[in-house]
């Protein structure tokens, strides 16, 4: 199923990339932000790591073609590290930086409802500090959660300036923690959902702003990762 979704996503990307831009093709560029918290649970031991919260910021581009098909690409990076104290020993500290990349290809059945396929990649370097053992912000490894998904999206305009928007995606992803010292990686197959809902405000014919809430939760046999928080951004449409 995962390989089939990836093949379908790539096929749609190639198909749309070959289409000429019609006059009514719309291109939007945006700055997106997400203030979110991160919790990770070891499903075998039941131990939960509270990694605190961080602000992620980055660009996004969306292309809507004249035939109601669209492409979207976004990248976000944490402005500070997620941090867990007393992770393994009293007085230790584990930090993770993070970057997210998302690609979607979809179709709007009407102005209010559409469906899409996509691919998400979450990456971060894991560093550890514990003075009694001589660890001082040492890189332990890299964590990756990546894979395809399928979802729906919608919007409902209350008037000419305010609209409700939302999306729901079901994801099937690979979870991996690779260690710097060459130890065997921890791996898991995880599945879950990504939900976002919010309000968009048209500030002019070209500018808009939005604020909302986003939740992502991915769970497997060994690990569960949950990200929740407030989103906000600004968009310019050519």
Arithmetic mean of pLDDT over the chain? 92
For 50-54, the CB contacts below 8 A with 24+ separation are: 50/84, 51/82, 51/83, 51/84, 51/94, 51/96, 52/82, 52/83, 52/84, 53/82, 53/229, 54/78, 54/79, 54/80, 54/81, 54/82, 54/98
Distance between CA atoms of 105 and 171, rounded to whole angstroms?
Answer: 15
In the chain, DSSP finds a helix count (H) and a strand count (E) of: 1, 12
Can you read off the two tokens belonging to residue 109? Answer: 């059945």
Instruction: Give the number of domains in the chain.
Output: 1
Can you read off the two tokens belonging to residue 72? Answer: 């979207």
CATH number, domain containing residue 83 = 2.40.128.90
User: Which residue has 């992803």 as its token pair?
Assistant: 173
Give the chain's largest Cα–Cα span.
Answer: 65
Distance between CA atoms of 128 and 115, rounded to whole angstroms?
Answer: 41
The most confident of 23-27, 40-44, 170-174, by mean pLDDT: 170-174
Distance between CA atoms of 71 and 207, rounded to whole angstroms?
Answer: 20
The whole-angstrom distance between residue 218's C-alpha and the CA centroid of its chain comes to 11
What pLDDT was estimated at residue 144?
Answer: 97
Query: Residue 23: is its pLDDT beyond 90?
Result: no
Query: Residue 10: is its pLDDT beyond 90?
Result: no
Q: Is the dihedral of CA 152, 188, 224, 75 positive or negative?
A: negative
pLDDT band at 22 (very low <50, low <70, confident <90, very high): low
What count of Cα atoms within 13 Å lies in the side-chain half-sphere of residue 16? 22
Antiparallel, parallel or unpaired: β 223-237 and 186-202: unpaired
Distance between CA atoms of 77 and 213, rounded to whole angstroms?
Answer: 18
Q: pLDDT per residue over 176-216, tens digit each?
A: 999 999 999 999 999 999 999 999 999 999 999 999 999 99
**Averaged pLDDT, 142-171:** 97
Domain holding 13, by residue range, is: 2-237
């Amino acid at each position: 199923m995962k390989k089939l979704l990836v093949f379908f996503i790539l096929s749609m990307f190639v198909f749309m990339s070959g289409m000429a831009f019609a006059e009514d093709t719309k291109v939007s560029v945006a700055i997106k932000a997400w203030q979110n918290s991160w919790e990770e649970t070891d499903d075998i031991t039941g131990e939960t790591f509270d990694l605190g919260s961080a602000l992620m910021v980055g660009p996004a581009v969306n292309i809507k073609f004249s035939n109601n098909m669209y492409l979207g690409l976004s990248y976000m990076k944490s402005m500070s590290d997620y941090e867990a104290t007393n992770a393994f020993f009293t007085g230790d500290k584990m930090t993770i930086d993070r970057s997210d990349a998302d690609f979607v290809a979809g179709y709007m059945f009407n102005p209010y409802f559409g469906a899409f396929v996509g691919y998400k990649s979450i990456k971060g370097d894991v560093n550890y500090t514990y003075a009694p053992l001589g660890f001082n912000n040492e890189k332990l490894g890299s964590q990756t959660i990546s894979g395809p998904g399928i979802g729906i999206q919608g919007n409902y305009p209350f008037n000419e300036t305010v609209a409700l928007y939302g999306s729901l995606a079901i994801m099937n992803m690979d979870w991996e923690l690779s260690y710097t010292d060459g130890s065997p990686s921890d791996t898991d197959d995880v599945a879950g959902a990504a939900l976002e809902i919010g309000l968009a405000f048209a500030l002019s014919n070209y500018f808009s702003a939005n604020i909302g809430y986003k939740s992502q939760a991915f769970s497997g046999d060994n690990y569960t990762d949950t990200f929740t928080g407030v989103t906000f951004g600004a968009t310019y449409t050519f």
